[in-house]
Every structure is written in C-alpha cells, then in structure tokens.
C-alpha cells in the first residue's frame, strides 16, 4: 500500500511541473497590463514604467520564470498585488473556508442522493423513481448562483429563518481559535456551542446550494449502478435464499455498487470546488474561489498561479485517496497490478 | 452502557447544549451592536495607505477615517437637508490655526494630538508625511502637484508644533489641496522603524497597518472580505465619534446587499444599482440620500485625432442622436442630474458642470451626418467601448446609444473592457467612441477642464483633444484665480465652456448621484468630495 502511494505521488510530479509552466505562461498571456493597473488612475507613462520595474515585469519572460521557480522551491508563492498579502498565507486562510463548505455540501448531497438512488433502483419506473429523476434534473439544470439567490430570497429575506448571508460567521461573533481552520471543528475543540451553531447556520444555505447542484450525478450513478448489480446472479441467489430485503440491498448489492459511486464522488468534489466560486460570491464567503477570480480580474498573477497550483495538488491528493478507497471497498481491485 | 441509556444521555446533552441563548441576545452583545456600524459594499480596499502603489478607491475611505490632515472642510446644508462639505470654508483638524500669507502658509499644530500608539504628533511627522507624498510617485505625487506642491524643500519645520508650506507659485488650489485625502499625516518614527532599504518610505508596512492620529484605526483587515475599524479614543481632531466600531463587509452580490438592508441586518450601503435605489426610495422603509457627484460628469467621448470623429459635423450628429432622456429613465431611473437640453437662449454660466444645448433630434442628426460627408451613413462598424467595472450603468447606456446611432445609419459594435484594462485602454487614447465618468476632488471649473480638456498629457483627456485656444483659456482662468482677478476669470471660464460645447469632443450626459441607503435609526451622513463615507459623524440611535 505504502509503495503504491509513493509511486503515485512520484507520478504526480510531472503533471505538477506542467501545471506550473502552463499557469505561468497563461497568466502572462492575459490581456491587461498590471503595471498600468497598479500605477493608478492618473499615472504618466513614466510612472507606469517605474511600477513595471518595481514589479519586475520589465525582465525577459524566462528570467521572470526563473525567479518564480526559485521562490516556489522556497515555499514562497509570491505576494498578491491587489490584497497586499503573501499568497501562501491567503490560501492557507481561505482554503479551509472553501473546503469546509464543499465537504459539507458533498455530505448533504450524499445523504440525500444515495438513499434516493437506491430507492429509485429498487423500484424502477415507480413514482419514487420519477421523483428522483425530476429532483436531479432540476438540481443540475439550475445554475448554482440562481439556486443560491433563490434560497437567500426565500429563507433569509422572506421567512427570516436563515442568518444574513455575510460569510462564515455572524458579524458579532468572533471566529473560534484556529486549529484546523474549519469553524465547525474548531468551535467543537474550543467547546463553544454558540459559535458552532452560529457557523452551522451560516453554512447551511451555501452547503444546501452546492448539494442541490451535485445531487444529480450521485443519485443517477447510484441508481444505474444499483440496477446493474440488482439484476446480477448473486443478488438473485441471495433473494432465493430468503435473505431479508434490507440485507440483500444494503449488505450485498450496495457494497458492490459503490465503486462507480465513489468515482463519481471524486469528480463531483472536483467540480464542486469550481462551482464554489459562484456560491462564494452569493454568500460573501471568504473562500479561495472568489479570491482567485478577483485576482484574475486585476491581472494579479501570483494568486492565480498559487490557486491553480493548489487546486492541482488537491486533485492529485483526491485521486490518490479515491484509488486507495477502491482497494478498501473492493479487495479485488489491486492497484499494484 | 446500554444503547438505550446512551441515547438517553445524548438527548440530555443536546438539550443542555441548546439551552444557553445565542450570545447575540446577551446585553453585552446588544450594547456592541448599538455602537457598531455595519456597512456592506461591493468591493473593499487593496491597501490601507493612500500613498501606496495602486491603492483603490475603497482604500481612500480607510485613509480618510484613519488619518488626519492639517485642515478639513466645514459642512453646509443642501436644500434637501443633506450636510455637504463647504469647499470655501476650512476648519482645523490636526492644525489648530492656519495663517495663509502671500507665498507661504503657516500651521500651528495641536499640542495634545497623539498618534494611535500614543506618541505625540509633531511638525517633523507632518514634514516627513508631505515629503513622502511628493516623492513616492504615482497618484499621491500627482495629486500633490495639482496644488503646486512638488518639492520636499517646500515643507519647513519651524519648531515642534509649527509647520510652514512655502509656495513655488501662486495657486488657488494649494490650500484646498491640503484638505484632500493625500496629505495625511503618518507616525513617521513608527514607519521608519519598519522601513527597509528597498522600501525607505515603509509602504509595505503602511499597506497593512494604519499609523495615523485619526479617529479610527483598522484592527482587522481581510482583503476582499472585511475591514474592522475601532475608534481611537484619544482623537483630538474633532468631537469624539459616537460609533465605537465600524464593520465593513464586502458583499459582492447586489441583490444580497439590498436584502441585508431591507431585513435590517446591514446599517449602510452605497453602491446598489440605481434600480434598487429608486425602488427602495419609493418603499420608504430606509433612508435614502442622493447627492450629485461634485464636479463629476458621465459622458460619451470621441477620439478627435482619428477619422471619423475628427470631423466636428459628425460629432454634432452623434450629439443629436444620443437618446438622453431614455438613458435618464431606463438606465438611471431618474437618479442623476441631466446635463443636456439647456434652453437655446440660456447664457453660459461661470459654473461647472452645466448642461449643453443638444437634445435628441434624429432628423437634425441625419442632416448633419450628410453634411459631414456621410449621406449614406457609416456602414463600417465603429466600436463603442465601456468599462465593465461599472457595467450596471455603462452597458445599457451603450446599448441605447448603439440603437440610436443605428437609426441614423451609423453602425457600431460594443466592446466591453474589463475593469483591470480600462485604464490601459484610456492611456492609449485610441478608442474611437466610449463612455466614461470623471469627477474632480477639487470643485473648480478650471480643475475639471485642466484634467479633461487641456492638451497636456492628462489621462482624462480621453478624446486626445488638442486645442491651443482652450489651453489659453484654462491657463488664463488658473492664473486669474490665483491673483483674484474675477473679471478675467469669469470670461475665461465662460470661454472654455463655450469652446468645449462648440468643438464637442465629448458629449456630457448627466451628473451621476451618490446614492446612500441607511436604516432609519442611522443619522449623520455627510457628503464629501471623495464621495466615500465619513464614519466620524455617523450616529446610531
């Protein structure tokens, strides 16, 4: 197992190098001149040139790349020009916000979608099956920012049940002392029930928004994979042997149907991180998605590069995790082979 | 433990956890809510120091509230009851006395003023701060030069609490320029301690830390998400603000900002779309204050150096084709002051902004188009560019202009320029047709014209308009203002306004409004030339 993980990590290195080169070149190819942007409204050409020299943008591309790589090796992702803070610190502060939201969204989604998929598969073409189809089609066809705005409108504006969409925690609460950066976990560590509830309330609507968006692939995949398994011989044997419906469906069928569901979960998690950008905008969530988009709009290279690199590393880790999970779920899958 | 017992004890634990009321309801929290102003806006600062490289406009708001200037402006009241800064009257802020002589101004500093870390403010701090502003380059240096403040030698420390500014030449704008945001006073010793060899003025330090003697200090800044400011209890520049704390949250979605206001969760917001403002106004649940931008105009500009708009007849045709009223109604929902359609016999005033005499008249526009040598219109599309950063107003305006020009036979395509690139595009001065807004901090006609019409290198002369005649009028007005020669000043101002409307390199559309929406229990909003909020005067009942 350990050698497998190491091998996989080694294999990830070339792709990370590729990401570094491509993002560097892409950000340089963006339209817009950061020097003109940062020289301010009333700048003369000379002032713009001064800023360009200050930012090191007057040097040849290859020299700039060299500096970038050297910094990267030292763990320095550069400094964001728009926010004035080191990119590494910002990502470190903002990643937990995005990750907490995405994970919770995914959990909510799994809790709804998996049982829904199983039920739909056990009774194909029943009302339940159609309901599953409608829910998942509706969820995937509504853009996330739209779902988000509707939820805010109904639950915050009209009903007043949800707290103000003002980020991770009510304005008048202090965030819990940072341990993991996940407010839910940190507030539990600090044994602060109030803060836990306050941050859970803030999380609820954005997480639900993400969950609605990701219901479809999980529910559909669960259903399809369950249908295939339910029609196989061993299930028929189990049924013929008089096992209870629960044992047949959950213990035998579902465990065998889980592999494609896990693959889908990996994919869903990746695109949820992307969909996050819009949800973060709607809920004023201080995550990495909105950070990267703002940087992109200002032609601010360093955060964009840092963001893409972080995402790439995250995907590598995620894929590895899923591969490992395969082996746990289904001993027949031997990755060493 | 048996499963049933476990479940029972879990229920007890959950119930116990649920009992304590959320902290919001506790008296201490209620108290802090009372003394805290919650502002929501689209974007926040990128730098806490206005002297920094590329500080954005929200950053100006921080600087204004966290730093003192030597002098500031008195307030006057507009007919609609809004307190409005009085450009003629100055009041001391860090200085307790100002004595303007023929070629210098002397300031006596308050002896009791202290920085937020407790060190007293001295004339050395003032000199160091002014030296910094004229030396660091970029926007601050440029703004200082607008008041003929260009060299460190102009700033003289007479003694610990006396400071003198020597004039290089007579300029009416010198004293007003000391009351804008840029000449703020920093804690020089503290900044020097944190400066490095590459960064002698400590810009990196002040980017993240406010080191002034102002009424507020930033205690938490998370770029792109929030700024928290606490009151400086030892502030001496004016009466102690009523608010103890200001929380400024960035809420990118305009709909949510409106919802927060309507639900009563946010206290103040000021960059909602015009449509929301006009609806909130008629709702009457919130207090809405609309004030015209001082010395500001949204306009359609044309590049006069390149065909086809080097032809003045064609510019007239465009000026007659603009659907002015439609823009006022459909884009601005009436929340702006029209700058068009003055009666034909109205004499030119010694004032700016003032409306021009063009109205929408497509028949006239077509006739002028033919006269300009395009009897069949212009089939090759001309691009209309606008800044996506202000798409809410710019995009529908451009679409309406496009539609109207189509009717007289001028084909156009719309070019949306991302906010980050807009300045770059303006500097190039190659866009044939565009819309933009300019407003001057200093509210004087010659100031506006100097930036927008003078043949000099100003980036805001976006039309690349070159006219020795207008230069002479503008320079004449500036010279006359400095010596107090009212007769020739008035004549020059009227002449440059007339010439601007005769040559029509840019077509003024309207004077935009600054719209601020507040809860009914919030009072003390003041309009300032920089159009941002002054927290010091706000009161939460």
CB B218 within 8 A of CB B64: no
pLDDT at A284: 86
Overall average pLDDT of the B181-188 stretch: 94
Mean pLDDT score of chain A, rounded to an integer? 83
Residues of A in Cβ contact (< 8 Å) with B224: 82-83, 286, 290-291, 294
Partner A, chain B 343-402, Cβ-Cβ below 8 Å: none
Mean model confidence pLDDT for chain B? 87
pLDDT at residue B3, rounded to an integer: 46
Q: Nearest 5°: phi and psi at B183?
A: -75, 60
Question: What pLDDT is attached to residue A6?
Answer: 84
How big is the A-B interface in CB pairs under 8 Å?
155
Model-level pTM? 0.81
Q: Do B17 and A37 count as a contact with CB atoms less than 8 A apart?
A: no
Angle at B532 between CA B531 and CA B534, to 5 degrees: 120
DSSP classification of residue B185: -
For the segment A57-85, what is each residue's pLDDT rounded down to a tens digit? 788 888 888 888 888 888 888 877 777 67
- Label residue B212 by pLDDT band (50, 70, 90): very high
Q: Which residue of A has its CA nearest to B25?
A: A172
What pLDDT is attached to residue B18? 39
- Going by their DSSP bridges, the two strands B268-269 and B36-41 should be labelled as parallel
The predicted model gives B177-202 an average pLDDT of 91
Q: Are the C-beta atoms of residues B459 and B331 closer than 8 Å to each other?
A: no
B483 touches chain A (CB under 8 A): no
- What region does B341 belong to: left with phi over 0, alpha with psi -120 to 50, or beta? left
Tokens encoding B19: 């009992």
Compute the nearest-CA separation of A60 from chain B (Å): 21
Using the structure block, give the residue that is written with the tokens 């048996």.
Answer: B2
> In the structure encoding, which two tokens stand for residue A197, read together?
């509830």
Which CA distances in Å does A55 have to A37, A50, A90, B83?
Answer: 12, 9, 20, 42
Interface contact B264, partner A, CB < 8 A: no
Write out the two tokens for A202: 């803030």
Of A309, A286, A306, A292, give the one whose Cα is nearest residue A87.
A306
Query: Backbone phi, then psi, for B53, in 5-degree steps?
Result: -75, 115
B437 SS3 class: strand
> Does A42 contact B208 at a Cβ distance shorter than 8 Å?
no
**In a mutagenesis test of the B interface, which of A31, A39, A191, A196 is the best target, namely the one with the most B β-carbons within 10 Å?**
A39
> What is the maximum span of chain B, computed from C-alpha positions, in angstroms?
100
What was the pLDDT predicted at A132?
A: 85
Q: Is B13 on the interface with A (CB under 8 A)?
A: no
A44 CA: distance to closest CA in chain B (Å): 8
Q: For residues B355 and B508, is the Cβ–Cβ distance under 8 A?
A: yes
Round to whole Å and give the CA distance between A95 and A307: 10
Residue of B nearest to A286 (CA): B225
pLDDT at B500 over 90: yes
Query: Residue B531 carries which DSSP code?
Result: -
Q: Which residues pair with B40 in a beta bridge?
A: B249, B269
CA distance B106 to A332: 88
Give B22→chain A minimum CA distance, Å.
6
**A15, A308 in Cβ contact below 8 A?**
no
B254 touches A: beta carbon within 8 Å? no
pLDDT at position B14: 41
Q: What's the mean pLDDT in A90-101?
A: 88
Rounded Cα–Cα distance for residues A187 and A195 (Å) = 6
**pLDDT 10s digits, B370-396:** 999 998 888 889 999 998 878 889 999
Spatial contact of A282 and A152, defined as CB atoms under 8 Å apart: yes
Confidence of residue A198 (pLDDT cuts 50, 70, 90): confident
How far is residue A47's CA from residue B429's CA, in Å, rounded to a whole number?
17
Q: Can you read off the two tokens belonging to residue A178?
A: 């940072």
- Phi, psi (5° rounding) for residue B434? -160, 165
Confidence class of residue B1 from pLDDT cuts 50, 70 and 90? very low
Q: What is the pLDDT at residue A333?
A: 67
The pLDDT tens digits of the residues spanning A6-61 come to 887 888 888 888 888 888 888 777 766 777 766 665 566 677 777 777 777 788 88
Choosing among B136, B138, B530, which should be mutated to test the A contact, i.e. which has the most A CBs within 10 A?
Answer: B138
Is the pLDDT at B425 greater than 90? The verdict is: no
Q: Do B423 and A43 touch (CB under 8 A)?
A: yes
pLDDT digits (tens, 9 = 90+) for B428-440: 888 999 999 988 8
Among B23, B139, B249, whose Cβ lies nearest the Cβ of A194? B23
> How do beta strands B36-41 and B245-250 pair?
parallel
Q: With beta carbons less than 8 A apart as the criterion, state whether A268 and A218 touch.
A: yes
Per-residue model confidence (pLDDT) at position B181: 94
- Is any Cβ of chain A less than 8 angstroms from the Cβ of B55? yes
* Other CB atoms within 10 Å distance of the CB of residue B147: 23
Q: What is the pLDDT of residues B438-484, one digit of tens each?
A: 888 888 998 899 889 988 767 788 899 999 999 999 999 988 988 88
Query: Is the minimum CB–CB distance between B23 and chain A shorter than 8 Å?
Result: yes
Cα(B470)–Cα(B150) distance, rounded to whole angstroms?
25
**Contact residues on chain B for A143, CB-CB shorter than 8 A:** none
Res. A259: pLDDT tops 60: yes
């Amino acid at each position: 197992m350990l050698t497998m993980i190491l091998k996989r990590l080694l294999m990830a290195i070339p792709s990370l190098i590729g990401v570094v080169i491509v993002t560097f070149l892409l950000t340089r190819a963006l339209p817009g001149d950061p020097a003109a942007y940062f020289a301010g409204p009333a700048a003369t050409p000379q002032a713009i040139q001064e800023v360009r020299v200050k930012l090191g943008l007057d040097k040849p591309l290859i020299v700039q790349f060299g500096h970038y790589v050297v910094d990267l090796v030292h763990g320095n992702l550069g400094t964001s020009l728009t926010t004035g803070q080191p990119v590494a610190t910002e990502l470190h502060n903002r990643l937990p916000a995005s990750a907490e939201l995405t994970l919770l969204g995914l959990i909510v989604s799994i809790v709804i979608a998996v049982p829904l998929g199983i039920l739909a598969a056990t009774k194909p073409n029943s009302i339940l099956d159609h309901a599953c189809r409608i829910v998942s089609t509706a969820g995937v066809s509504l853009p996330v920012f739209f779902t988000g705005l509707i939820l805010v409108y109904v639950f915050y504006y009209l009903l007043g049940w949800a707290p103000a969409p003002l980020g991770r925690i009510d304005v008048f609460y202090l965030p819990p002392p940072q341990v993991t950066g996940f407010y839910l976990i940190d507030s539990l560590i600090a044994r602060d029930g109030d803060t836990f509830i306050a941050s859970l309330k803030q999380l609820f609507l954005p997480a639900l928004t993400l969950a609605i968006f990701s219901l479809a692939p999980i529910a559909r995949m669960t259903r399809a994979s369950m249908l295939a398994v339910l029609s196989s011989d061993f299930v028929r044997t189990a049924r013929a042997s008089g096992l209870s419906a629960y044992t047949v469906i959950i213990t035998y069928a579902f465990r065998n149907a889980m592999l494609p569901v896990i693959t889908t979960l990996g994919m869903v998690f990746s695109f949820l991180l992307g969909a996050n950008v819009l949800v973060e905008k709607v809920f004023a969530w201080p995550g990495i998605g909105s950070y990267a988009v703002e940087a992109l709009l200002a032609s601010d290279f360093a955060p964009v590069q840092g963001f893409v690199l972080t995402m790439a590393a995250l995907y590598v880790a995620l894929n590895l995790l899923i591969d490992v999970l395969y082996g746990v779920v289904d001993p027949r899958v031997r990755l060493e082979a | 433990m048996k499963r049933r017992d476990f479940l029972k004890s879990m229920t007890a634990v959950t119930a116990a956890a649920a009992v304590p009321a959320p902290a919001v309801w506790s008296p201490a929290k209620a108290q802090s809510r009372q003394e805290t102003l919650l502002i929501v806006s689209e974007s926040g600062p990128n730098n806490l120091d206005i002297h920094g490289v590329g500080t954005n406009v929200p950053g100006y708001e921080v600087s204004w509230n966290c730093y003192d200037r030597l002098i500031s402006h008195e307030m006057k009241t507009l007919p609609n009851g809004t307190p409005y800064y009085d450009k003629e009257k100055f009041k001391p802020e860090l200085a307790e006395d100002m004595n303007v002589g023929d070629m210098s101004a002397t300031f006596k500093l308050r002896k009791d003023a202290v920085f937020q870390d407790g060190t007293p403010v001295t004339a050395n701090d003032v000199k160091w701060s002014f030296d910094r502003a004229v030396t660091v380059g970029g926007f601050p240096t440029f703004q200082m030069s607008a008041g003929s403040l260009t060299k460190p030698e102009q700033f003289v420390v007479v003694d610990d609490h006396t400071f003198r500014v020597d004039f290089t030449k007579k300029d009416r704008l010198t004293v007003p320029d000391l009351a804008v945001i840029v000449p703020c006073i920093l804690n020089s010793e503290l900044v020097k301690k944190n400066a490095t060899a590459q960064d002698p003025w400590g810009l990196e330090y002040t980017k993240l830390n406010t080191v002034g003697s102002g009424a507020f200090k930033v205690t938490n800044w998370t770029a792109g998400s929030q700024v928290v400011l606490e009151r400086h209890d030892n502030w001496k520049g004016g009466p102690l603000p009523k608010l103890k704390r200001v929380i400024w949250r960035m809420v990118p979605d305009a709909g949510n900002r409106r919802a927060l206001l309507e639900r009563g969760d946010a206290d103040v917001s000021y960059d909602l779309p015009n449509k929301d403002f006009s609806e909130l106004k008629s709702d009457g649940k919130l207090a809405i204050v609309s004030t015209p931008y001082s010395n500001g105009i949204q306009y359609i500009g044309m590049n006069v150096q390149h065909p086809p708009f080097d032809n003045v007849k064609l510019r007239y045709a465009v000026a007659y084709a603009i659907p002015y009223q439609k823009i006022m109604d459909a884009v601005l929902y009436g929340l702006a002051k029209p700058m068009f359609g003055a009666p034909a016999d109205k004499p030119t005033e010694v004032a700016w902004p003032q409306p021009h005499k063009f109205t929408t008249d497509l028949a006239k526009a077509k006739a002028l188009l033919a006269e300009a040598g395009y009897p069949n219109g212009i089939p090759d599309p001309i691009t209309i560019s606008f800044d996506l950063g202000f798409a809410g107003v710019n995009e529908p305006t451009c679409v309406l202009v496009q539609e109207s020009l189509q009717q007289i036979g001028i084909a156009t395509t719309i070019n949306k320029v991302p906010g980050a690139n807009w300045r770059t595009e303006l500097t190039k001065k190659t866009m044939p047709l565009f819309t933009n807004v300019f407003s001057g901090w200093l509210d004087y006609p010659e100031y506006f014209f100097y930036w927008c019409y003078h043949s000099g290198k100003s980036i805001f002369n976006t039309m690349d308009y070159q006219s020795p005649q207008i230069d002479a009028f503008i320079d004449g007005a500036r010279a006359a203002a400095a010596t107090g020669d009212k007769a020739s000043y008035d004549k020059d101002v009227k002449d440059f306004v007339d010439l601007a409307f005769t040559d029509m390199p840019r077509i003024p559309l309207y004077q935009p409004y600054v719209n601020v929406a507040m809860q009914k229990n919030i009072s003390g909003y003041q309009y300032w030339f920089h159009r941002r909020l002054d927290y010091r005067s706000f009161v939460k009942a």
